[in-house]
Amino acid sequence: MISSYERHSPSKLNLFCASPAMFTLEYVKGIRQEVGPPAHRGVAVEDGVTHGLNNLTAPLADCVAIALATYDARTTLSGDPRRDKYRDTIKDMVATGVNELRKYGIPTGTQGLVEWHPDGLALPIVGYYDYQWDNHGILVDLKTSEKMPSSIKFAHARQVAHYAVSDNIDARLAYITPKKLEVFRLENVRQHRNALYEIALTVEDFLNQSDDPDVLMRKVKPDLDSFYWGNPAMRQLAYEHWRI
């Protein structure tokens, strides 16, 4: 197994499920794709919302200022033409998130570590939940999106199921768009958690085929129609490493 791959995470496992080639490029070959404005906005909105939840009387303007500071710091050197477009949506997203989630009160935990060592896996599955309210038995993961989904996405379901370590936890997904927030309760937690475990087994089977990154790279091929390879720089990497 590749020595640099030391643990699983829900995001890594979901990436392998969605694009084995991208997973292999990032976590076997060690070539990480550039993070764009949507991901930076997600981190920024979470910072602003977290401040507003941990300080229930904090003005919304302060929460927004924290979010914008995070976004600006992370995108200072970005030449992505979408930078300002995504920045302009942060204020409304933070305000919506703070106003809706303050109903739960101050979280008893934020960015809490969850480490799972199931039988049959050589490596643990490690992740961090966003918010937990022990007094309510509620756990919430925050996701930013351009459009509101009609239900929880499977990748997100597997991720949140990892955090719900007890049947007594009410696991939820809070999706925030520039216009609104909706909270979905996760059903069939054990089923989604088991799916994450099965993906991890497949990843370990794949990685155990060789400790040579180039051998593993030859076992997968990128789907250039996938959004994972939509960036010209990523398509160039596909050509350089797979000649397609």
Q: What is the DSSP string of 64-127?
A: HHHHHHHHHHHHTT---TTHHHHHTTHHHHHHHHHHHHGGG-S-SEEEEEEEE--TT-SS-EEE
pLDDT of 79 reads 84
Residue 207 CA to residue 7 CA, distance in Å, equals 12
pLDDT for 244? 86
Question: What residues form DSSP beta bridges with 131?
Answer: 110, 140
Query: Phi, psi (5° rounding) for residue 121?
Result: -105, 140
pLDDT value for 233: 86
Consecutive sets of 10 residues in the chain, 244 residues long: mean pLDDT of each? 89 97 96 90 98 97 98 92 95 97 97 96 97 96 96 97 92 95 96 97 97 96 93 90 92
Both tokens of 24, joined, read: 């292999």
Task: Copy the structure tokens of residue 121.
Answer: 């896996």
- Let me know if 244 is exposed, middle or buried by CB neighbors in 10 A (0-12, 13-18, 19+): exposed
Write down the domain spans for the chain: 30-105, 107-207
Supply 120's token pair: 């049959």
> Taking the mean position of all CA atoms in its chain, how far away is CA 195?
17
> 188, exposed or middle or buried, with CB in 10 Å at 0-12, 13-18, 19+?
exposed
Whole-number Å distance between alpha carbons of 144 and 157 = 15
Given this model, what pLDDT does residue 33 score? 83
What pLDDT is stored for residue 34 in this prediction? Answer: 81
| Alpha carbons 16 and 203: distance in angstroms, whole number | 7
Q: What is the CATH number of domain 107-207?
A: 3.90.320.10
187 vs 136: CA distance, rounded Å: 17
What's the burial of 240, exposed, middle or buried (CB within 10 Å: 0-12/13-18/19+)?
exposed
CB-based contacts of 141, cutoff 8 Å, min separation 6: 129, 130, 131, 156, 159, 160, 163, 171, 172, 173, 174
Per-position DSSP letters for 151-165, written without gaps between them: S--HHHHHHHHHH--
Can you give the pTM of this predicted structure? 0.93
